[in-house]
Amino acid sequence: MSWIKCTSCGAALPPGLFQSGEGACSLCSRRQQAVILPALYKSQSLVPPTLPDPPQTGDVVCFFDENRKATQTCSHCGIFMSDAWSARWGRQVVCLKCLEELRAKGNEAAFQTKRTLWDNVALGFSFGPWVLLILSICTIVFYFIGALFLFFTFITAPAAIFVALRYWRAPRSLVPRGRTRLVLAILFALIQIGAWGSLIVVLLNEWGLFSERLT
């Protein structure tokens, strides 16, 4: 049966309700607009699958099931397989074993399911404490906490440089982009480290540690 699922309460709604393009859920009364596509009726038009004929002598059999005739070749490992053991992935046809491996390892961009964006992590380390500082000032009440975030930069700035250099060659987003974020993170972190260095020198000088040694 074909249903449109209510996005608010999850109730199954008949597609006829959206014949005009818009309808309200009969359960939660939430109004929603829907474009119904032919695939909704696909399950109605499908006939139950029939078992394929067993392979005859001389036929290439499926690597995974000897009772099935091989009809496909895995684009990745090259084995012969039947339709039941194959999956179409974009323009490639892969066996289910390879599909699982490829998705788990994520070496090929077309099969990747997630990525860590190290350039954003480095940027976060570099700019994060400052963003938190601004946010805390905006709260007015907790503006004094902002000062605490500045101390974080003592750790986060070197961490930003480490992450940026460690993952300099690591793949970034699936959508190609340059290394601008990494460069920005390094530059801003260097400024912060420079500021910390200057502060330490000034403080040491203030306490007379340098002057004593010089004299």
CB 34 within 8 A of CB 5: no
Q: What b/e readout covers 90-109, taking b as 16+ CB neighbours within 10 angstroms?
A: eebbbbebbbeebeeeeeee
Is the CB of 61 or the CB of 117 nearer to other proteins? 117
Q: Can you tell me the distance from the alpha carbon of 69 to that of 53, in angstroms, rounded to the nearest whole number?
A: 8
Please identify, using beta-carbon distances, which residue of 16 and 208 lies nearer to other proteins.
16
In the complex, what is the shortest distance from the CB of residue 93 to other proteins, in angstroms, rounded to a whole number?
Answer: 13
Check if the beta carbon of residue 127 is closer than 8 Å to that of residue 118: no
Residue 79 or 87 having the CB closest to other proteins: 87
Task: Report the nearest approach of other proteins to the CB of residue 121 (Å).
Answer: 5
- What minimum distance in Å lies between the beta carbon of 118 and other proteins? 9
Angle CA 55–57–63, to nearest 5? 50
Q: How many CB atoms lie within 10 A of CB 26?
A: 12
State which residue, 79 or 117, has the beta carbon closest to other proteins: 117
What is the residue whose two structure tokens read 């500045």? 150
For the bound state, the minimum distance from the C-beta of residue 38 to other proteins, rounded and expressed in Å, comes to 3
CB of 43 to other proteins, least distance (A): 7
Partner residues linked to 61 by β-bridges: 69
Which CB sits closer to other proteins, 77 or 134?
134
Q: Count CB-CB contacts under 10 A for residue 85.
A: 20
Question: What residue ranges bind other proteins (CB under 8 A)?
Answer: 1-5, 7-8, 12, 14-24, 26, 30-45, 90-91, 112-117, 120-121, 123-124, 131, 137-138, 140, 173-177
Q: What is the rounded distance in angstroms from the CA atom of residue 201 to the CA atom of residue 209?
A: 10
- Give the pair of three-digit tokens for residue 191: 């400024």
In angstroms, give the least distance from the CB of 120 to other proteins. 5
Q: Give the nearer residue to other proteins in terms of CB position, either 31 or 169.
A: 31
Distance in angstroms (rounded) separating the CA atoms of residues 147 and 134 = 10
